[in-house]
Structure 1
Amino acid sequence: MPLFSQLLTVMLFTCLSFAARGEKLRIVTEPWAPYVYEENGKALGLDYETTAIVFKRLGIEVDWQFLPWKRCLSMLEQGQADGALDIFHSEEREATLLYPGEPLSEVEFVMFYANERPHPFQTLEELRGLTIGTSPGYLYSEDFRESSLFTREPAPSHEANFGKLVRGRIDLLITDRRVGQHLLDELNIRHKITENPVVISQQSQFLAVRRNAGMDLLVQRFGAELKRFKREPAYAELSARYGADPATGAEAVKAAVMHQKTVEQQESGAQ
């Protein structure tokens, strides 16, 4: 059998292996609207729906679990999950995770402050002595993570972080711009909170899987199908529904503001 045919056969069996064994791919993620979230028991979001469509085209069934991000990371480390949705790329994770060549979306980290206690700023140096709300398990940029100018205080959820901001328990909080804007409306606090326009960092979000046998081929198929889907009108409609810019990858990076630095998500981290 020619080498190409052998590789094609292996890829096919990799994508069908879960179904053949009566298993589902176990994917964990944290609610991170508008990218991924649950509403009335239904999973929604730009990245969730995009991923679900791609896996359906590949013939892969998925068992989704929505958990705090720190728990998602723990399950990945312990082998209790096959992959994570909306996770940022880092060199440390390369040892245990595989990433497709195509990202799901781009995020921009900004800070929010309470109108009663405004803290507008242009540089991190202006945050001396302040307390910044963060999310546990997220990988932030080194300059933000290592700075001794201010204090970083984690909260169990994004909603809790905004609650602390409104009550004056923290001075600012850091999160993705679209996530923050979504929560301002969901929590009905838009009149109380202001977004600082300075972009602290910009990062791509991915669907990443553990480095198990055959997963590298699955990741290649996923990335190729994702790239194909993002060229279709259906993806443009999905992006518009969630108020997202359909530009991704290099285009999104090129469009990013000049002062943004590469850093992380979600985790997820993503994010």
Structure 2
Amino acid sequence: MKEVQKYPDARREEKLQAFDRLLTIMDQLRNLCPWDKKQTIESIRHLTIEETFELSDAILENDLEEIRKELGDIMLHMVFYARMADEQKAFDMADVLNGISDKLINRHPHIYSDVEANDEQAVKENWEKIKLKEKGNKTVLGGVPNSLPALIKSIRIQEKARGVGFDWDKKEQVWGKVEEEIQEFKTEEEAGNKEKATEEFGDLMFSLINYARFAGINPEEALEKTNKKFIKRFNYLESESKKEGKQISEMSLEEMDVYWEKAKKL
């Protein structure tokens, strides 16, 4: 193993005590609180998903204080799952933490072994190859969860394919594919072939996501920022027109556009 400089952490003992405190509180809640006693691994699943989206919102807003709070909520859920699994004699928090530590060591042979990886791409390729061996997947894409949202699934599919060398060489080639897909979609849409146009639109989105990857842009993050921007501007349009006694449903597009242009300058 290569010699690694230890991160100076004056609060390490305090962090360990804080984690022990959370484990203790979880024990108390599981034994004494009627609601916590009733929960199962399945029953809190939807709450975990909600907390994850709340963390995502805080990250997009770059709100570090809110990120701190949401990380605490998610940490609670992780401790909760481990406690319930421990009750079933399946695994406990020590198994969880040792498992992830072992995984990190195994997937970073350029740090903990003699493998060379001098750039980010080499690290990613090693990661995907090791992951494929660990999971015993019969196919490269076998590890992509079926339940992932389509946009995120596209990103993961493309990353995994790249991990084994199946990818374009230059982003100019990818843009050429985008232009090709635009034309194919336009042809089918203008012909009124909805089923084929839908298929071509999916191809177009996939190629745009691919280009975003080459450009170093996270397309999910980019789209969510646009969503938030649109909501902010539309809310301004709605509130400001209402102040002037106008009903948005009765306004023309030209009237709305006046407020929209003002909102863009805020």
**What band does the TM-score fall into relative to the shorter chain?**
under 0.3
Higher fraction of helix: 2
More strand by share: 1
TM-score by length of 1: 0.19
Higher normalized contact order (CA 8 Å, seq sep 6+, divided by chain length): 1
TM-score normalised by the chain length of structure 2: 0.19
